[in-house]
Chain A
């Protein structure tokens, strides 16, 4: 079974600075998808960014980018120019390409605090 590990329970960043959240995963598959989801205090989770394992190019979405290291099974999220609205719990998630449907396996999450 696939597992996702987020080793940083909590991170802090100064407004306008850059922060990187770490994620590692364990799988024997070669094709899969990785995601970062954001869960603000209201608890509604939203997708931040997605990466297909077959793509070598790292995904970017405005101030959010990933560093995908397939061999190392590492998938970190970089948030540039941090804003107060970025404060939330961030979850890394894995989806197998072998399985029909969108079953996601989540990590334990990292709380991100943004200081003004």
Chain B
């Protein structure tokens, strides 16, 4: 079974440029998460989807970040315009709607903003 797939793995951009990250969750997983992981820190939740509905986006900086999950499968996270402080690894995870707590993570997209 394929795991969570993310792309691109690495992205280097100039500040004020836009960037987008894509995530394909494990087939059948209703819940999808975007986390941001700063260097040397634990992941912090940006947004959580239940199917196509964003049920928790309280930590998403909505002035520059946006996300969508069309048809409740793939998801895209966009930053426009990027700032130096956005340099981080953006992790996508998915899970079944359950109380087991196991999230399945992708390998992440490392963003460097110059």
Contacts and interface: CB of A to CB of B under 8 A. Distances in A.
Interface of A: 4, 6, 9, 33, 35, 42-47, 50, 91, 93, 95, 97, 101-104, 106-109
A109 B43 CA distance: 9
Given A50-B100, A101-B31, A101-B48, A44 B105 contact: yes
Interface in B91-113: 91, 93, 95, 97-103, 105-108
Interface in B21-48: 31, 33, 40-45, 48
Interface residues of B, number: 28
A35 B101 contact: yes
A49 B68 CA distance: 31
A44 to B, nearest CB: 5
Contact of B101 (A43, A91, A102, A108): A102
B9 to A, nearest CB: 9
Contacts of A35: 101-102
B26 to A, nearest CB: 13
Contacts of B114: none
Contacts of A106: 42-44
Contacts of A45: 43, 91, 93, 103, 105
B3 interface: yes
A19 to B, nearest CB: 19
A102 B31 contact: yes
